A = this chain, B = another copy of it.
Amino acid sequence: MSENRTEISSLGEFGLIEHLTRNIEIQNASTIVGVGDDAAVIDHFGKQTVVTTDLLIEGIHFDLMYTPLQHLGYKSVVVNLSDIYAMNATPTQITLSIGISNRISLEALDEFYEGVYAACDKYGVDLVGGDTANSQKGFIISVTAIGEVSPDKFVKRSTAQKGDLLCCTGDLGAAYIGLILLEREKRIFLENPQVKADLEGEKYVIGRLLKPEARKDQIEFFQQAGIIPTAMMDISDGLSSEILHICRQSELGCVLYEEKIPVAEDTRNAAFKFELDPTACALSGGEDYELLFTVPQQDYDKLVLNEQISVIGYMTEQEKGSKIITRGGNTFDITAQGWNAFAGK
């Protein structure tokens, strides 16, 4: 946080909104009316509108002790855009509401908004509205993202087909290890503020937690490669939980290969340091914001050369259940917590 401190109350609500939105430049032609009216007006003429929303609460979703406000602003936007991409759609606008206690200065809020605008810039979306309120305790962030998609292009979770390949983008588990690491450093710091944090070599996992990106690039790749996934969602709660969503909503089972689950080398090393199983981190750790999707087998050639995509399994009929085959060759039921070794067979 900056050293200057301006009390937000000195601006008044409208002064604050004016201050926070003074530099907005509209990026999308579809943004007809932006901030400053009762509502925004958006022209997705000929396309369908896609909407998603997330609520982020201090002490539940983030800890300001180790979360820089700029990163928090950036992440608040990105996690919502990720949901829009997960529909195979393009985000175009966001609204942002914040609840702030008097602990937050105007300078701190400016840092948060720098992150918000950086994400808007990077992903080409417009901030078109919102609300500011006082909070009795803690910082509250509510973002709604709006996007557009051609009527024949959006992808649900419920439409995977038997025999489809199960795929994911990027690598998994890093954000979870990043969280474990920062929580440990926080404990150490609280016990002994003199000890300096040793986070060298952990930049990757910490970065994945604090400043995630949404997979805009992969949605663009689908477009270029002529791929429309049969089902898709983003991985925010952990791979196993998301796989179970697709299985349940598509009324299918699946086989997942442990050895195919992409885990970065840095994640693996950090996991071993904490005596954690990297696969368990990938399966049940959340906040990776990668995409999980299914495609027909005949699309394999279209995506095999994309290094950001891993084929991790395939879809089966519902009666066969949702299974993981481990490196050791054992088969277990996938559970929302990862897998259940006791229920396995």
Contact = CB atoms under 8 A, between A and B. Distances in A.
Interface string A139-153: 010101111010100
Given A133-B60, A135-B57, A52 B33 contact: no
A130 B249 CA distance: 18
A284 interface: no
Interface in A18-48: 32-33, 36-46, 48
A59 interface: yes
A144 B128 CA distance: 12
A126 to B, nearest CB: 11
Contacts of A37: 87, 156-158, 233
A76 to B, nearest CB: 12
A49 B38 contact: no
A42 B48 CA distance: 5
A255 to B, nearest CB: 23
Nearest to A146: B51
Name the residue in A32, A157, A233 with the highest tally of chain B Cβ atoms < 10 Å from its Cβ.
Answer: A32
A50 interface: yes
Contact of A97 (B54, B60, B86, B151): B54
Given A50-B39, A53-B97, A151-B43, A137 B137 contact: yes
A292 to B, nearest CB: 10
B38 A233 contact: yes
Interface size class of A (residues with CB under 8 A): 35 or more
B53 A49 contact: no
A113 interface: no
Given A84-B39, A137-B137, A138-B137, A156 B33 contact: yes
Contacts of A128: 51
A111 to B, nearest CB: 20
A126 B234 CA distance: 24
A225 interface: no
Given A33-B156, A41-B89, A136-B138, 7 more contacts: A38-B234, A39-B87, A41-B48, A42-B51, A53-B144, A55-B97, A58-B136
8 pairs of A and B residues whose beta carbons are closest in the complex: A39-B52, A142-B142, A38-B86, A55-B97, A38-B83, A144-B144, A42-B49, A137-B137
Interface of A: 32-33, 36-46, 48-61, 83-84, 86-87, 89, 93, 95, 97-99, 128-138, 140, 142, 144-147, 149, 151, 154, 156-158, 232-234, 249
8 contacts: A33-B87, A33-B154, A37-B157, A39-B87, A42-B51, A44-B44, A52-B95, A97-B142
